[in-house]
């Protein structure tokens, strides 16, 4: 019995049709690959999305792969760099430049505070740039609160790092 090219190609074609539907919006099939209850943050876009999920239970509105009891925070899986075009200058050519204001802190006040875990896993946030001199609660995280709010194992570094605000200003948290 001869195997026709159609029989060889059909499994590959079906695989292409089925696999994409199993992935979440960000292209991931599992947000908690190491099953520790912390959603992996792999990019600046992921970091930015945290502001829409301050309790740490989902990312991009999804929690695929989280434990039955749900996820409880986030963890870095790589070093992230705000000098996104790697030219050694923070300017309009970098993502999150925001017309010179730079990064908008995650959790901007008591009503929108970050309330979960953020574990840097020993990775770094490089070249964080914030220039919000008329804004309070300024840092990578602006405001955190609650018994479960915890920032750990993270470093901020880079020649281009600059964090400016009005009051309650810090690199990691305002």
What's the pTM? 0.84
Higher pLDDT, 114 or 29: 114
Is residue 172 included in any domain, yes or no? no
Is residue 69 included in any domain, yes or no? yes
pLDDT at 29: 82
61: left (phi over 0), alpha (psi -120 to 50) or beta: left
Please give the residue range of the domain that contains residue 125: 30-165
Is residue 49 included in any domain, yes or no? yes
pLDDT at 22: 33
Whole-angstrom distance, CA of residue 3 vs CA of residue 125: 54
Phi and psi at residue 140, in whole multiples of 5°?
Answer: -55, -45
| Domain total in the chain | 1
Is residue 15 included in any domain, yes or no? no
Is residue 55 included in any domain, yes or no? yes
Element (H, E) at 13: helix 5-18
């Amino acid at each position: 019995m001869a195997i026709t090219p159609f029989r060889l190609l059909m499994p590959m074609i079906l695989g292409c049709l089925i696999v994409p539907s199993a992935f979440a919006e960000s292209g991931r099939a599992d947000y908690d690959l190491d099953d520790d209850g912390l959603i992996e943050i792999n990019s600046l876009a992921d970091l930015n999305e945290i502001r829409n999920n301050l309790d740490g239970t989902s990312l991009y509105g999804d929690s695929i792969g989280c434990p039955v009891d749900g996820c409880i925070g986030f963890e870095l899986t790589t070093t992230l760099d705000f000098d996104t075009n790697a030219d050694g200058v923070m300017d309009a050519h970098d993502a999150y430049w925001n017309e010179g204001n730079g990064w908008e802190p995650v959790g901007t006040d008591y009503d929108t505070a970050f309330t979960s875990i953020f574990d840097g896993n020993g990775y770094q946030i490089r070249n964080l740039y914030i220039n919000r001199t008329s804004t309070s609660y300024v840092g990578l995280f602006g405001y955190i609160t609650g018994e479960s709010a915890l920032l750990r194992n993270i470093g901020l570094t880079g020649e281009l790092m600059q964090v400016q605000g009005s009051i309650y200003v810090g690199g990691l948290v305002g």
